[in-house]
């Protein structure tokens, strides 16, 4: 009937068999090509780079990516699942540089751009076999035969077309701006790249430079009376290397500033005992109290800067009175050619100055982050470091001798300490200490970034900022808070996209500039370039350096391409269009496959791929405005985001919650798990352990727990059905009306239909965590621990009642059990298919296709189960839940009393919460009696009290709340009506108690309840439900308990003898006393339970198996052999 199923199973071996089946039958291709009545469901693959081995963080993203397409395919959609490879960019270049031992861009140019890019191209697929093997092994179905590759000319050409469409609308432009720049790689980074590299708790200098003010102006302004003593404007910075680029000091016009007398600078070489925190005064600064200096800073900052009582306020004035006050610089910087410094070294007013930290005086370096401020106030520009982050030779102290600067060529971060120390020695620094704060690094290689004023090319995303925000509202984010939180915040603070890169291996920026730089052109296609050059360029590699050699004449001028590549995030954001070589091919395909219905990546992609997709789609589908042309795709889609649904994934950490790293030795190789626990257990753990966005703890042991808890429970249930069905050969194709089945079967049918409904709802809501947990709870608790355990006897070929009387249950009852369990497992296999594709396929192949060969060839080609609302019996499920709750209490009462479940008891007393529950429980009384092994059930009134109660305060909850009133509260409880409190708790009501003349309202959780049972009873109560067992045992009950224990020992002997479950035996039992007497009374029961044709009360000769055990101190010799009689 079914293929035999062993109780022990190696899931990795099973999964490899399924992989072979899928490949042999070409199941994935069939899943894409078969009829799809619901049309397309569009999935975008976020392209990985295969220049490194995949890790467990790649497994989680691919597991989540695979789930939804499988689910939607079963629902009747066509999901193409086109793969892709991200092949350009800095990560690839850095990998090649590392192999070649290069440390700077000049190394690349000396080696040759062509040679370097060739190595980059070769490296991008260095580990493609590892990626393909991992994807295949975890069951990630992806069309890699037709994958898009970002380095191909067709992909680059589509990117050019997109660029030109933005150029023609005035949205692609060059500008001189402050841009985050990586000195190691000598290239700009976009804001969304920078956002991925911020590091917290970075230690940097915290220094207070003293800028000498021009005394003549101070006297004229009546800020000082004479010029006998120098006055310093005190600023604050964490970047001493920028002080040589200082051109102004900014203050707030509406803030109050002061002239203060305080001790002079720290002695050279000394520092605070502890790090500065945004201007907090040093506790143990070594100063000469007799030496005083005059300082100008914000009044609100004086205490924090000088320390309380360590200064004297001589005069106060508004910030406006400082406007245009001139001062002397404290370091020389590099002066750009033609730069006029006449407007520099003066105080300006600006509202962006804050007095929450520092001194309330902003050090302005227009070349390093303050360019907009400089333009606003017509300030000049000085430089201190170059684009490689090296200090210029011009940077030196004002009185430094002619010659080499001690800072020349020093990396900017390394120069901080020496510059600060030298200024301190010159008395031009008030304090030098450290601070811990957040600072941006290159997220690819960890290089500290510089906010550098330079030329770059930008996409004017700020022009569609409102559209970006509006389109975000159209996206279903999972979890939802990302929409208005992390992603929404990013959009609300949108800045123009710095899209050019001063690198080599990437799509070339398609801008050609005339030799006199008066004209520029953006090229949108290879044909356009051919027309301009008059050459056949069909064989041209569009990468550098070959594209750099392409020039053309126009308007009597020679045009040459700018030496930039395109931000790789632009390339990945262009994949909806470039993967189809749109618009040069596949116009109809794009319309059918845009936007995506579903994407999925890690949470850091909110500033990466999610943003680039969103920004480009918004720009391209923009319907325009009176001052802005419509986007080039607005004729196809209007104001449309790139994706409709997105699951955002958290990061993976080890089982202790620590970040995985090779140095810690806590990195888990996914293959270790795949080869031992298997892909299904790994995937299921990733789905079910915590919501998608949470940080997931991961280890092989945690996956093993999932395997034991869920998969082995499912396997045992499945193998149980196969074992007994192969013995009985039931007709599982027959139709048994659900209404004619026993209550427990109807309950399981109801629960199964509710399961289909609930799992469907959760997967429709992109919530695989809850969906997988619902399935797990159903399989473990409802199906295995309740239904199968409760109904095992119905599946046995020879059945008997508990006292040995011939069982009158019909074969139809047994068939009903088979049919109910079979249908349930077949449905569970389909529900699990998107999440555990291997075991679900195995179960489907064996259970479904063995009986129904005309069904779909694979579970992944089968239709998603539909639930029948008419079969969901809410009242029956409620009644069974009540029964299970009472059973749980009854078992706990047995454990409290120390009475085993095999020992029958005379009576169970039950109380529930309502009359409806009471009536329902009475309908299931036989189940209740069997489950708790009691002879009778007595039902108490729902308002009846059976036990006495001791009420105590919940001290952890009430201790802080009541404080000194707690003793009075305890005293009140001693005389309070405990039953009133208990009744309030049952109904979820508060209890009002007067303390110290005031009424206090206490919720149910404020009390701890202990029940005291009457004599001969053990009762337990929870939330108004009560189960009480009568523990008085008669001789007959004791004998029943004894015979049940004996049967357990006999069944264990059968198992130790490794007999088939249906094998008939001859049994020898040698014992004495009460055990022998009990065996004789219940002989027929024993025969039926252990499938014994004959029982002798002596040890058998030539037995196949023999053992001696003790039962209640009485020896019991068990011998058995296969029976020769049928």
Supply the residues annotated as catalytic. Answer: 47, 86, 569, 605, 609, 659, 662
d(CA 618, CA 471): 7
Cα 334 vs. chain centroid, distance in angstroms? Answer: 48
Token couple for 1008 = 């701890």
Q: CA-based Rg of the chain, rounded to a whole angstrom?
A: 40
CB 932 within 8 A of CB 903: no
CB 272 within 8 A of CB 282: yes
Nearest to 821 by CA among 797, 776, 868, 786: 786
CB 397 within 8 A of CB 422: yes
3-state secondary structure of 178: strand
d(CA 641, CA 613): 8
Token couple for 396 = 């030196």
Please report how the helices 874-897 and 915-923 are oriented relative to each other, as an axis angle in degrees rounded to 10: 80
Nearest to 775 by CA among 761, 796, 791, 795: 761
Phi, psi dihedrals of residue 787, rounded to the nearest 5°: -65, -55
| Max intra-chain CA distance, the chain | 126
d(CA 964, CA 571): 67
Token couple for 892 = 């706990």
CB 1008 within 8 A of CB 953: yes
CB 940 within 8 A of CB 910: yes
Sign of CA dihedral 55, 60, 65, 67: positive
Token couple for 1121 = 């052999």
Give every CB contact of residue 258 below 8 A, 6+ residues apart in sequence.
Answer: 296, 297, 298, 299, 302, 313, 314, 315, 316, 317
Sign of CA dihedral 351, 353, 359, 361: negative
Nearest to 160 by CA among 439, 575, 508, 492: 508
Sheet holding 248-251, edge to edge: 346-349, 248-251, 362-364
Cis ω before 545 (30° cut-off from 0): yes
| CA distance from start to end of the chain | 23
Token pair 């099973």 is found at 14
Q: Residue 1102: left (phi > 0), alpha (psi -120 to 50), or beta? A: left
Token pair 């924090």 is found at 304
**802 is known to lie in a ligand binding site:** no
CB 347 within 8 A of CB 322: yes
d(CA 1043, CA 1086): 8
Cis ω before 643 (30° cut-off from 0): no
CB 256 within 8 A of CB 364: no
CB 831 within 8 A of CB 865: yes
Which residue ranges are tagged as binding site for ATP? 662
């Amino acid at each position: 009937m079914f293929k035999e199923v062993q109780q022990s199973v190696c899931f990795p071996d099973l999964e490899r068999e399924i992989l072979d089946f899928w490949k042999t039958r070409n199941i994935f291709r069939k899943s894409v090509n078969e009829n799809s009545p619901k049309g397309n469901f569009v999935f975008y693959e976020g392209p990985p780079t295969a220049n490194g081995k995949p890790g467990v963080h790649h497994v989680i993203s691919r597991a989540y990516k695979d789930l939804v397409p499988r689910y939607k395919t079963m629902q009747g959609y066509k999901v193409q699942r086109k793969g892709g490879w991200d092949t350009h960019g800095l990560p690839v270049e850095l990998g090649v540089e590392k192999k070649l031992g290069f440390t700077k861009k000049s190394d690349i140019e000396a080696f040759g751009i062509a040679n370097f890019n060739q190595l980059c191209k070769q490296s991008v697929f260095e580990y493609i076999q590892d990626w393909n093997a991992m994807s295949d092994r975890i069951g990630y179905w992806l069309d890699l035969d037709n994958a898009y590759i970002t380095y191909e000319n067709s992909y680059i050409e589509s990117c050019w077309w997109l660029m030109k469409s933005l150029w023609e609308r005035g949205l692609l432009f060059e500008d001189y701006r402050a841009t985050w720049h990586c000195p190691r790689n000598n290239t700009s980074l976009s804001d969304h790249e920078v956002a991925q590299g911020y590091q917290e708790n970075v230690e940097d200098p915290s220094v207070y430079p003293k800028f000498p003010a021009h005394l003549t102006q101070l006297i004229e302004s009546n800020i000082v009376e004479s010029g006998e003593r120098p006055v310093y404007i005190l600023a604050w910075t964490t970047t001493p290397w920028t002080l040589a680029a200082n051109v102004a000091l900014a203050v707030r016009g509406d803030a109050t500033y002061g002239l203060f007398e305080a001790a002079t600078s720290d002695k050279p070489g000394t520092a605070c005992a502890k790090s500065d925190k945004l201007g907090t005064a040093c506790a143990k600064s070594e100063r000469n109290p007799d030496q005083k200096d005059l300082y100008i800073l914000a009044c609100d900052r004086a205490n924090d800067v000088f320390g309380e009582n360590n200064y004297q306020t001589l005069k106060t004035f508004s910030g406006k009175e400082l406007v245009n006050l001139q001062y002397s610089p404290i370091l020389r910087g590099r002066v750009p050619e033609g730069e006029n410094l006449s407007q520099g070294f003066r105080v300006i007013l600006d509202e962006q100055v804050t007095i929450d930290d520092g001194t309330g005086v902003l050090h302005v370096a227009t070349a390093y982050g303050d360019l907009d401020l400089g333009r606003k106030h017509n300030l000049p520009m000085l430089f201190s470091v170059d684009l490689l982050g090296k200090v210029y030779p011009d940077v030196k102290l004002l009185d430094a001798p002619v010659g080499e600067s001690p800072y020349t060529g020093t990396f900017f971060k390394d120069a901080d300490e020496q510059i600060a120390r030298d200024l301190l020695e010159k008395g031009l620094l008030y304090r030098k200490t450290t601070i811990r704060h957040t600072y941006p690094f290159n997220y690819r290689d960890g290089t500290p970034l510089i906010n550098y004023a330079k030329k770059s090319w930008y996409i004017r995303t700020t022009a569609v900022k409102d559209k970006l925000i509006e389109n975000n509202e159209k996206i279903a984010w999972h979890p939802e808070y990302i929409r208005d939180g992390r992603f929404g915040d990013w959009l609300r603070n949108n800045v123009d996209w710095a899209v050019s890169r001063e690198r080599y291996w990437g799509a070339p920026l398609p801008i050609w500039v005339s030799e006199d730089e008066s004209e520029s052109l953006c090229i949108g296609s290879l044909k356009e370039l051919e027309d301009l050059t008059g050459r056949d360029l069909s064989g041209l590699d569009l990468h550098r350096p070959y594209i750099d050699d392409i020039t053309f004449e126009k308007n009597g001028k020679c045009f040459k391409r700018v030496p930039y590549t395109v931000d790789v995030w632009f390339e990945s954001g262009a994949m909806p269009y470039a993967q189809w070589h749109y618009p040069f091919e596949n116009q109809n395909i794009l319309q059918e496959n845009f936007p995506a219905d579903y994407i999925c990546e890690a949470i850091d992609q909110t500033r990466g791929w999610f943003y680039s997709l969103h920004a480009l789609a918004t720009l391209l589908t923009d319907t325009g405005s009176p001052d802005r042309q419509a986007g080039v795709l607005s004729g196809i889609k209007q104001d449309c985001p790139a994706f409709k649904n997105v699951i955002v994934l958290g990061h993976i950490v080890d089982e202790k919650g620590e970040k995985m790293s090779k140095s810690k030795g806590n990195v888990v190789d996914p293959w270790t798990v795949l080869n031992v626990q298997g892909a299904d257990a790994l995937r299921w753990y990733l789905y079910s352990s915590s919501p998608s966005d949470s940080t997931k703890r991961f280890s092989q042991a945690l996956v093993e727990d999932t395997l034991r808890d869920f998969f082995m429970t499912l396997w045992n249930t499945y193998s149980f059905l196969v074992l007994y069905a192969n013995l009985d050969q039931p007709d599982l194709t027959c139709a048994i009306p659900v209404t004619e089945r026993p209550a427990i079967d109807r309950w399981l049918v109801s629960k199964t239909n509710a399961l289909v409904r609930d799992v469907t709802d959760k997967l429709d809501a992109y919530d695989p965590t809850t969906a997988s947990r619902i399935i797990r709870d159903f399989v473990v608790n409802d199906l295995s621990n309740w239904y199968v355990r409760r109904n095992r006897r119905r599946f046995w070929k020879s059945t008997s009642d508990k006292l040995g009387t011939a069982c009158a249950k019909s074969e139809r009852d047994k068939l009903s059990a088979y049919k109910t369990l079979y249908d349930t497992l077949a449905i569970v296999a389909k529900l699990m298919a998107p999440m555990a594709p291997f075991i679900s396929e195995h179960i489907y192949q064996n259970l479904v296709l063995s009986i129904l060969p005309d069904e779909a060839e694979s579970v992944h080609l089968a239709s998603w189960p539909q639930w029948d609302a008419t079969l969901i019996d809410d009242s029956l499920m409620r009644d069974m839940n009540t029964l299970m709750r009472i059973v749980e209490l009854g078992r706990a009462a047995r454990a409290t009393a120390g009475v085993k479940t095999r020992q029958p008891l005379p009576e169970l007393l039950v109380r529930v919460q309502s009359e409806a529950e009471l009536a329902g429980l009475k309908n299931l009384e036989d189940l209740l009696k069997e489950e708790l092994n009691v002879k009778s059930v007595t039902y108490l009134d729902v308002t009846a009290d059976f036990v006495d109660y001791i009420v105590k305060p919940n001290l952890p909850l009430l201790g802080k709340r009541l404080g000194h009133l707690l003793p009075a509260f305890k005293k009140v409880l001693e005389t309070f009506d405990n039953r009133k409190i208990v009744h309030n708790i049952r109904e979820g009501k508060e209890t009002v108690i007067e303390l110290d003349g005031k009424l206090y309202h206490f919720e149910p959780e404020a009390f701890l309840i202990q029940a005291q049972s009457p004599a001969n009873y053990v009762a337990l109560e929870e939330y108004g439900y009560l189960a009480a067992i009568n523990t008085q045992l008669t001789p007959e009950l004791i004998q029943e308990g004894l015979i049940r224990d004996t049967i357990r020992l006999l069944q264990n002997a059968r198992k130790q003898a490794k007999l088939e479950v249906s094998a008939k035996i001859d049994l020898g039992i040698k014992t004495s006393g009460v055990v022998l007497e009990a065996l004789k009374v219940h002989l027929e029961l024993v025969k039926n339970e252990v499938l014994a044709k004959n029982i002798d009360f002596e040890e058998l000769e030539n037995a196949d198996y023999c053992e001696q055990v003790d039962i209640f101190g009485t020896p019991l010799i068990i011998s058995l052999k296969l029976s020769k009689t049928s």
